[in-house]
Structure 1
Amino acid sequence: MSQTSTTTEHGGPAETARIQGVLLPLEERPTPSGPLSGSITFGWRALLKIKHIPMQLFDVTIFPIMMTVMFTFIFGGAMGAVVSGTGQTGGPAISEYVQFFIPGIFVQTLIMITMYTGVTLNKDISKGIFDRFRSLPVWRPAQLVGALLGDQVRYGLAGSIILAVGFLVGFRPEGGLLGVLAGFALLLVFSFCLSWVWTMVSLLMPSEEAVMGVSMTIIFPLTFASNIFVPTATMPGWLSGIVEANPVSVLVSAVRELMDGVYDPGSIIAVFIYSAVVVAVFAPVSMYLYNRKS
């Protein structure tokens, strides 16, 4: 008697569908998560890691307080004399410098914190956690987008601490609560977009130490060659033009204006343009590297 031949090749689509139907009937299969729900789930995972490792909040608690207090009381007198143009130091100079300085250190601290996104991602990838995630029926970029969304909570905490310390040392924004919230929101948008740079770096570098080294090399010129600490008018002519074109300087100017009650559409639009360009360049590259790595 001839053996009945099968029409389904071993491992083919038909056989896979038959096995899945036996293991889990079609009507009982869970609906795959969409882009939004998948991203939120991975964002919640990032927050749970903070719950289990509270030391991850060190950079968003102690660091903002230290930077704000140090620059206000150690450098505030000398820099205040430069900003005011009067040459007077001491208490009045510090008070005037605080109004100029707090929006700048507000921006600098959150931008510097964004680089820890790359460090955390590199750690997860090196441990093989993301290799497990790729087997899940989720939107492919959700793992990266969720990690960036989870970090928004850390940015919000750091920004709130800086503003609280700023109020304690005499910062009084003329734009009121609305201006502060608008500046805060603008900074969070830019920070989320900038995080894609460190995501790309984390996918290129072999270790956390390498990610940190490259990130610091990029971020120090961005923050210190800007108008965070002193006006560009105090710089040499050839340098002031470069500093004014720095995306960080554009962001700081927009945040200062909003906190001063000046709602300049041109400055806000410029920040959104920079943010869109960063995402358009680095997000696709990050996804390409991520797909190749996993």
Structure 2
Amino acid sequence: MSSLSVAVEDGLTITRRNLVKVKRVPELIVFATLSPIMFVLLFRYVFGSAIPIQGISYAEFLLPGIFAQTIVFGSTITGASLAEDLQKGLIDRFRSLPMAPSAVLVGRTVADLALNALSIVVMGVTGLIVGWRIRSSLGEALAGFALLLLFAYAMSWLMATVGLLVRAPEVVQQASFIVIFPLTFIANTFVPTNNFPTVLKWIADWNPVSAVVQAARELFGNTAPGLGASDTWSLQHPVLYTLIWSALLLAVFVPLSVRIYQRTASR
């Protein structure tokens, strides 16, 4: 059996372990489903009552942004979970087993990808109830969901690196919040960026989260003439820009996190 097939098999084994753990701790599933519902309802009826969007309902403008925000925040689970496993000595037990070095990280990120997919399904159903509609073809809609999950998976590898470096779940969550909170709000997530101050608008237009949101809006058909119009390349080609960022994050943080894992676990 080749080393690649062994690594895939070991990664799937750890994925099953992580999903079984979620099943045995129902609180994780409860919060993974309640939080998206809360975000959709709060932003839909709090922001929606105060922010008119010309040519489109706020529900349709909002949902792609909520999708992006949730998957970015969801990536912190990867870092916190790895830090917790390191803290409890579970990684040392894995090291005693004949498995590929990448298996623990692959299993963790794939399991969290499944949780992100569950969150998107819950948010989508909630969004349909409050007025969100997909106005594109089935293929375009599926491409939109796939793009969101690809970016979520790439972000999970970034947070895996953070979790291995910090090694304290509480610190991972606090440090991640400091970075992720402005990343998701200095963007076109909840409001158009047209009226942002010049510097903030430039940051928002090149923010990868803005590209993810804009790509999702276009693929779901949640756009209107002139809405979010920008001469910035990143928002004129949001799908390509998102793919570039996803590929870059994976190219950098997959090998980096595996290297840090091997060094950290061998201490």
Structure-2-length-normalised TM-score: 0.89
Alpha-carbon displacement from aligned partner over 1:176-203 (angstroms, at most 9, x marks no partner): 4333221111111110011111111111
1:119-198 matches, cutoff 5 A? 119-198=80-159
> How big is each residue's C-alpha offset from its partner over 1:121-160, in whole Å with a ceiling of 9 and x where there is no partner?
1111111111111122222111101110111111111000
Query: Which of 249, 255, 258 is the equivalent residue of 2:210?
Result: 249
User: 67, 82, 95: which one pairs with 1:106?
Assistant: 67
Preserved contact between residue 75 and residue 152 of structure 2 (Cα < 8 Å) = yes
Alignment partners' CA distance in 1, 2:73 and 2:146: 17
User: In structure 2, what is the equivalent of residue 42 of structure 1?
Assistant: 14
Aligned-partner Cα distance in 2 for 1:163–1:202: 29
CA distance in 1: counterparts of 2:8 and 2:129, whole angstroms = 39
- Counterpart CA distance in 1 for 2:201 and 2:236 is 23
- Cα deviation for residue 285 of structure 1 reads 2.2
Q: Indicate if the aligned counterparts of 1:103 and 1:256 stay in contact, CA closer than 8 A.
A: yes
Q: Report the RMSD for the aligned CA atoms in angstroms.
A: 2.1
Distance 2:187 2:2 in 1: 49
Distance (Å, rounded) in 2 between the aligned partners of 1:147 and 1:220: 23
Gaps of 5+ in 1: 1-29, 86-94
One-letter amino acid of the structure 2 residue matched with residue 163 of structure 1:
G
TM alignment of 1:67-82, pairs within 5 A:
67-79=39-51, 81=52
8 Å Cα contact 2:60-2:222 kept in structure 1: no
Secondary structure of 2:145 counterpart: helix
Per the alignment, residue 183 of structure 2 pairs with 222
1:11-66, CA deviations, whole angstroms, 9 ceiling, x for partnerless residues?
Answer: xxxxxxxxxxxxxxxxxxx9986121111111111101011111112332110000
SS at 1:159 equivalent = helix
Structure 2 alignment gaps of length 5 or more? 224-234
Shift of 1:69: 0.3
Aligned-partner residue type, residue 49 of structure 2? G
Counterparts of 1:243 and 1:39, CA distance in 2: 36
The structure with more radius of gyration: 1
- Would the aligned equivalents of 1:59 and 1:113 in 2 still touch at CA under 8 Å? no
For 2:19 and 2:138, locate their aligned partners in 1 and report how far apart those are by CA, in whole Å. Answer: 27
Is 1:65 matched with 2:26? no
| Residue among 241, 261, 264 paired with 1:290 | 261
SS at match of 1:230: coil
Superposed CA offset, 1:64-86 (max 9, x none)? 0001001111120211x2x329x
Name whichever of 53-62 and 142-151 sits farther off. Answer: 53-62
Select the structure with the greater relative contact order (CA < 8 A; seq sep ≥ 6): 2
Tell me the residue number matched to 1:53.
25
Q: What is the aligned length?
A: 253
* Mapping of residues 238-277 of structure 1, within 5 Å: 238-260=199-221, 266-277=237-248
CA contact (8 A) 2:86 2:167 kept: no
C-alpha distance in 1, partners of 2:142/2:124?
11
Counterpart CA distance in 2 for 1:137 and 1:131 is 12
Residue 23 of structure 1 is matched in structure 2 by: none
Whether the 8 Å contact between 2:65 and 2:188 is mirrored in structure 1 is yes
SS at match of 1:84: coil
Rounded Cα–Cα distance in structure 2 between residues aligned with 1:200 and 1:58: 27
One-letter amino acid of the structure 1 residue matched with residue 202 of structure 2? G
Q: Secondary structure at the match of 2:194?
A: helix
In 2, Cα distance between equivalents of 1:31 and 1:137: 14
Between 177-186 and 98-107, the greater mean CA deviation after superposition:
177-186
Identity of paired residues, percent? Answer: 39
- Are 1:84 and 2:45 counterparts? no
Aligned equivalents of 2:255 and 2:117: distance in 1? 26
Alignment of 1:16-35 (within 5 A): 34-35=6-7
Does residue 263 of structure 2 align to residue 281 of structure 1? no
